């Protein structure tokens, strides 16, 4: 999408947008479906052919090939950044999960000890009594 926008905008310079948009299908066919990985490998002969087919200045086509190269370079560094960030986030999530699990375990142990203390202190109170008391405490 970005490469298509760059190609069409570059082709539009000095021309009417309606003309460019009418020929968009031709541009798509000529520029390999706006696939930057294919366009970056265009030879000088292919560049001249594209310029002739689309009635474009040779420098506009060279500019499109250069833009394809830049996009692929940026994509490479973006992919590396995403990979690094995803590993960092995975590590952070694992660490937080360990803390959360430890916290849950501590709370569970505290609730169990409280339950045992209450049941030891008040052996005649049943679970149903606790449910009634919990409803009344609101």
**C-beta atoms surrounding 46 within 10 Å:** 15
pLDDT of 63: 85
Spatial contact of 67 and 34, defined as CB atoms under 8 Å apart = no
Could you identify the residue written with the tokens 């919990």?
A: 134
pLDDT tens-place string over residues 81-122: 666 677 777 777 777 777 877 777 787 777 777 777 766 766
Spatial contact of 54 and 39, defined as CB atoms under 8 Å apart = no
Evaluate whether the domain defined by 2-94 bears CATH number 1.10.340.30: yes
Q: Which of 78, 52, 51, 76 is nearest to 62 (CA)?
A: 51
pLDDT of 119: 67
pLDDT of 1: 63
pLDDT tens-place string over residues 17-71: 888 788 888 888 888 888 888 888 888 898 888 888 877 888 888 888 888 888 8
Where are the domains positioned within the chain?
2-94
pLDDT of 126: 67
């Amino acid at each position: 999408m970005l490469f298509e926008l760059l190609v069409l905008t570059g082709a539009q310079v000095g021309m009417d947008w309606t003309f460019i948009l009418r020929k968009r299908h031709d541009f798509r066919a000529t520029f390999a479906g706006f696939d930057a990985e294919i366009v970056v490998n265009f030879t000088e002969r292919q560049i001249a052919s594209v310029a002739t087919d689309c009635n474009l200045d040779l420098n506009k086509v060279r500019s499109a090939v250069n833009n394809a190269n830049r996009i692929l370079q940026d994509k490479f560094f973006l992919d590396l950044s995403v990979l690094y960030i995803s590993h960092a986030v995975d590590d952070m999530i694992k660490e937080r999960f360990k803390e959360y699990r430890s916290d849950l375990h501590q709370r569970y142990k505290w609730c169990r000890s409280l339950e045992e203390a209450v049941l030891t202190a008040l052996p005649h109170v049943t679970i149903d009594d606790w449910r009634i008391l919990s409803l009344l405490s609101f």
